[in-house]
Structure 1
Amino acid sequence: MLSQSPAPGDETRGATSLAAPDVLVTVRGGMLRGRREDGLTVLRGVRYATAARFCPPVPEQPWPGVRDAIEHGGVSPQPQARPGSAGGRPEIGVQSEDCLNLTIVTPAADGARRPVIVWLHGGSYRSGAGSWDRYRTDGLAREGDVVVVSVTSRLGALGYLAAPGVSPGNLGLLDQIEALRWVRDNAADLGGDPDNVTLVGQSSGAHSIACLLGVAAARPLFRRVVLQSPPLGLGLGGAADTGRLGERFLARLGGDPLTASLDQVLAAQQAAERDVSGRGFTPAYGPVAGADPLPDTDGWLAACRAGAGDLDVVLGTTRREMAYFLAGGPLSQRVPLLGRAVENSLISVFTWTAFTRPTQRFARLLAAAGARVFVYGIDGAASTSPYRAGHCSDLPWLLGDEAAWAQVPMLAGQLWDDVHEHGRPLRSAWLSFAAGGAAALTAHGWTPYRGRRAAVHRFGAGRGR
């Protein structure tokens, strides 16, 4: 857990203050009642679409009267975090299949045409929600005078099962596209600029963005992208693997997938995961090549190249991505010195093969096709933690507050004031990029990436890294 800061700031937990005044915001579908909190307008649980189980999303229809947007909406049904996770055990929230909703934070719904940032969370396509406290965006919205929209969509089997006659696959990606359409149609009513939308995602959220770069229908919905720690070594799912997973899910379910309870669906989801991938780190569920809206792998790469000419891209990885999954494991516990050495070697190898190398390859592909590309690396803060500069270590630099991250093992021994300060250059870069794109980063000393190691912009300079 975090060490106690000597002088805690005045940031508050995600709970809404009882004294926060209501505010009415009119969007295309009708009127929403949100809250005015610490100088920001916050709308929670804003439904952008509905979807029957294993069916594509349907855009939300206009409504009469005033709809409350004060409480968080449902989150996609999901399992608890694995015990001992470096990321701790975050709150999940109320699980519901009615989970296609947004959390929106804006300085004011005043027609000012601010930059818009759309946040896609990570979680291996099986966990997470845009409404989680650790992904709170009020600090980012306030610091950069931007509108931030966090997306909650379907996960796991409900979002990515591919089984003929049951589910076509890629429903979670279709949800994300529908959310982006909602943002385009309503950004101006929220004080944002619909022509200046930046997608920012981490882990599977960044992988989703890479997928969307190869979907022609999605490209007009955003202008810039930031991919934090995209696990591009995963590639796209193929018919053989996803077909076997679908078969195992249906066999484990042993009943009608359309009428099974959520508990039954989750149990079958987890059992099928174990059947096809054991207890490894590769997500079992995820985007499938050749299923709507994704073309096959060759078509996806061609579409990425075709849409690169008017695209600004920032992407990068942490120095020790796999430490999140491997650090402090059984070997280093049993044989401390030798075990840690072997562990660190494995962390380096798997970080390079699963994250760093494929990310730099994707950067070169986009740059060669005409995109303005910038690559970064996270070295992390000075720390003796085995998780230093690991996967997700950049998240508290960008989002959330001390209370949300207080019990997270990967931050053990760090003061929140230091975490917040280490994140300042990262937040400044992302906010500058959202406002001014490639030109803004170049003005701040970044060098466009064309395969040169010297062009990688580095954050942090942790000792013992």
Structure 2
Amino acid sequence: MIVETAAGKIRGSADGAVTAFRGIPFATAERFGAPRAPEPWPGIRDCIEIGPAAPQLASRLERVMGRFTIGQAEDCLSLNVWAPAGAGHPVLVFLHGGGFTSGSGGLAWYDGAELAEHGDIVVVTINYRLGVLGYLCLPGVSEGNLGLLDQLAALEWVRDNIAAFGGDPAQVTVAGQSGGALSILAMPTATAGLFRRAILQSTPAGMPPAPLEDAATAARMLLSELGLASEEQRRLFDVPVAELLSAQYAVAARVGGAAPPYQLVADGVLVSDDLVRSVSARGIEVLLGTTKDEAAAMVDDAADTVTHQLFRAPTLRLAETLAAQGNAAWLYRFDWHPATSPFGACHCLELPFLLGNAAAWAHAPMLMGERPQALVEDMRERWIGFIRHGDPGWSRATEHHINT
């Protein structure tokens, strides 16, 4: 199947009953620069392989998700589309999590073929810049929040191009998990018109964006780890990626805590200092919730306390704020987990029931070899109901518990 985008024609490949287009460039960017439209290409570009992930080190969630190997490159701004036949389909754009330091929309965990076929919807996953390359805030080098700008550029690409894949640009739902969900919450009111509905899965809204002074401290620490004086900060444009990642890891180890040193920055222009308080009524419908034991994936002690403070309490406050502003908000909690799992219903556990397939999740430690198909079908039906009709099938007056 050949599709014409704003930058040129692309060729996809069959993936079950849908057509997959992988590694489509939606933007390009110089190091520490804002994203811009990709250069047009002549002829037909084959988009049958995923694009490289943003440069990163190992994920902090390996112990529950498992390991992954994927190519990496600074030129990483690509997306993937799974499209059923026909036109006018609702669209789901999914933003991966990973604490702003790891992950990729091209991972098999986030494959959209089964969901696209089952729901007769177009599914899109994206890459965005991570770590210091995406979230360093250092005037004269990087203005910060570049990863968020990448996500906004991807949503603009969807608005302008998705009709060619059979998607309806007026029926876009943006979904995100963890850092992806926090990114959606941070998106400014200027995103009005880019999506109609939002799904916020396991939003760590108890982790506020970094104040400018904290971001400045993290920038100075990075320079120190690299042996650079403040007047040498422009050399960051030439430091090898491996050295940047090593310095990023060293800074994170020194800082400690749940919040990564390079994340959303409360710059007062693009991102506010309190994402829950400042969320504005945009007339959108929102599906939001957490897993029952979020922090069991991250800490061994005080997991219940961390779950409540980082995820549960701010999600409940967000639901109340949205409802008070007149937005339709549906609340859920994902409770299922393998009976003998030491992680309980931990962070990321709902993902295998939405995206990917059985093979992609076969070795995830948090599942312990279990992935009840009935629960896969039930959760997908509810998410699809929300994507298609703005209603997951339970009352907004109650929190829906997802279990077998």
Shift of residue 304, structure 1, vs aligned partner: 2.3
Select 1:293's aligned residue among 247, 250, 270. 270
Counterpart residue type for residue 348 of structure 1: D
Tell whether 2:89 aligns with 1:114: yes
Q: Do the aligned partners of 2:91 and 2:171 also contact (CA within 8 Å) in 1? A: yes
Q: Do the aligned partners of 2:59 and 2:98 also contact (CA within 8 Å) in 1? A: no
Shift of residue 242, structure 1, vs aligned partner: 1.1
Secondary structure of 1:435's counterpart equals helix
Shift of residue 254, structure 1, vs aligned partner: 2.6
Tell whether 2:198 aligns with 1:198: no
CA distance in 2 between counterparts of 1:275 and 1:132 reads: 30
Counterpart residue type for residue 51 of structure 1: A
Q: Do the aligned partners of 1:216 and 1:303 also contact (CA within 8 Å) in 2? A: no
Secondary structure of 1:140's counterpart equals helix
Select 1:145's aligned residue among 97, 120, 136. 120
Q: Do the aligned partners of 2:192 and 2:282 also contact (CA within 8 Å) in 1? A: no
1:357 alignment counterpart: 313
Secondary structure of 2:19's counterpart equals strand
1:436 alignment counterpart: 389
Secondary structure of 1:75's counterpart equals coil
Shift of residue 413, structure 1, vs aligned partner: 4.5
Shift of residue 90, structure 1, vs aligned partner: 1.9
CA distance in 2 between counterparts of 1:83 and 1:426 reads: 23
Q: Do the aligned partners of 2:56 and 2:131 also contact (CA within 8 Å) in 1? A: yes
1:408 alignment counterpart: 364
Q: Do the aligned partners of 1:248 and 1:275 also contact (CA within 8 Å) in 2? A: no
**TM-score of the superposition, structure 1-length normalised?**
0.82
2:335 alignment counterpart: 379
Q: Do the aligned partners of 1:173 and 1:293 also contact (CA within 8 Å) in 2? A: no
**TM-score of the superposition, structure 2-length normalised?**
0.94
Q: How does 1:24-103 map to 2 (within 5 A)?
A: 24-82=2-60, 85-91=63-69, 93-103=70-80
| Further displaced range: 25-34 or 368-377 | 25-34
Select 1:458's aligned residue among 391, 395, 401. 401
Q: Do the aligned partners of 1:170 and 1:292 also contact (CA within 8 Å) in 2? A: no
Counterpart residue type for residue 425 of structure 1: D
| CA distance 1:240–1:427, shift in 2 (3 Å) | same
Shift of residue 84, structure 1, vs aligned partner: 6.1
CA distance in 2 between counterparts of 1:402 and 1:432 reads: 22
Select 2:240's aligned residue among 261, 271, 281. 261
Tell whether 2:98 aligns with 1:123: yes
Secondary structure of 1:317's counterpart equals strand
Shift of residue 403, structure 1, vs aligned partner: 2.1
1:322 alignment counterpart: 295
Select 1:311's aligned residue among 281, 284, 287. 284
Q: Do the aligned partners of 1:198 and 1:225 also contact (CA within 8 Å) in 2? A: yes
1:337 alignment counterpart: none
| CA distance 1:83–1:366, shift in 2 (3 Å) | closer
Tell whether 2:152 aligns with 1:177: yes
Secondary structure of 2:34's counterpart equals coil
Q: How does 1:323-342 map to 2 (within 5 A)?
A: 323-326=296-299, 329=300
CA distance in 2 between counterparts of 1:143 and 1:86 reads: 27
1:232 alignment counterpart: 205
Q: Do the aligned partners of 1:76 and 1:152 also contact (CA within 8 Å) in 2? A: yes
| CA distance 1:83–1:168, shift in 2 (3 Å) | closer
What RMSD, in angstroms, separates the aligned Cα atoms of the two structures?
1.7
1:274 alignment counterpart: 253
CA distance in 1 between counterparts of 2:269 and 2:73 reads: 24
CA distance in 2 between counterparts of 1:89 and 1:121 reads: 16
Counterpart residue type for residue 99 of structure 1: C
Aligned residues: 398
Q: Do the aligned partners of 1:116 and 1:147 also contact (CA within 8 Å) in 2? A: yes
| Further displaced range: 26-35 or 117-126 | 26-35
Q: In structure 2, list runs of 5 or more residues that go unmatched.
A: 229-234
Q: Do the aligned partners of 2:363 and 2:369 also contact (CA within 8 Å) in 1? A: no
CA distance in 2 between counterparts of 1:352 and 1:219 reads: 31
1:208 alignment counterpart: 183
CA distance in 2 between counterparts of 1:397 and 1:259 reads: 42
Q: Do the aligned partners of 1:153 and 1:172 also contact (CA within 8 Å) in 2? A: yes
CA distance in 1 between counterparts of 2:166 and 2:241 reads: 38
1:14 alignment counterpart: none
Shift of residue 37, structure 1, vs aligned partner: 2.3
Shift of residue 219, structure 1, vs aligned partner: 2.4
Select 1:189's aligned residue among 164, 167, 173. 164
Counterpart residue type for residue 297 of structure 1: D
Greater C-alpha Rg: 1
C-alpha distance after superposition, 1:266-286 (max 9, x if no partner) = 111111112222xx3322221
Secondary structure of 1:367's counterpart equals helix
Secondary structure of 1:80's counterpart equals coil
1:104 alignment counterpart: 81
Q: Do the aligned partners of 2:276 and 2:317 also contact (CA within 8 Å) in 1? A: no
CA distance in 1 between counterparts of 2:3 and 2:268 reads: 37
CA distance in 1 between counterparts of 2:369 and 2:38 reads: 45
CA distance in 1 between counterparts of 2:282 and 2:137 reads: 32
CA distance in 2 between counterparts of 1:203 and 1:117 reads: 17
% identity of equivalent residues: 41
Structure 1: which 4+ aligned runs deviate by more than 6 Å?
none
C-alpha distance after superposition, 1:390-430 (max 9, x if no partner) = 1111011111122222222111142x4x2x32222211111
Counterpart residue type for residue 273 of structure 1: A
1:12 alignment counterpart: none
CA distance in 2 between counterparts of 1:83 and 1:317 reads: 16
Q: Do the aligned partners of 1:174 and 1:293 also contact (CA within 8 Å) in 2? A: no
Secondary structure of 2:104's counterpart equals coil
| CA distance 1:82–1:456, shift in 2 (3 Å) | closer
Q: Do the aligned partners of 2:337 and 2:367 also contact (CA within 8 Å) in 1? A: no
1:427 alignment counterpart: 380
Q: Do the aligned partners of 1:394 and 1:423 also contact (CA within 8 Å) in 2? A: no
CA distance in 1 between counterparts of 2:129 and 2:309 reads: 28
| CA distance 1:46–1:380, shift in 2 (3 Å) | same
Shift of residue 293, structure 1, vs aligned partner: 2.5
Q: Do the aligned partners of 2:8 and 2:44 also contact (CA within 8 Å) in 1? A: yes
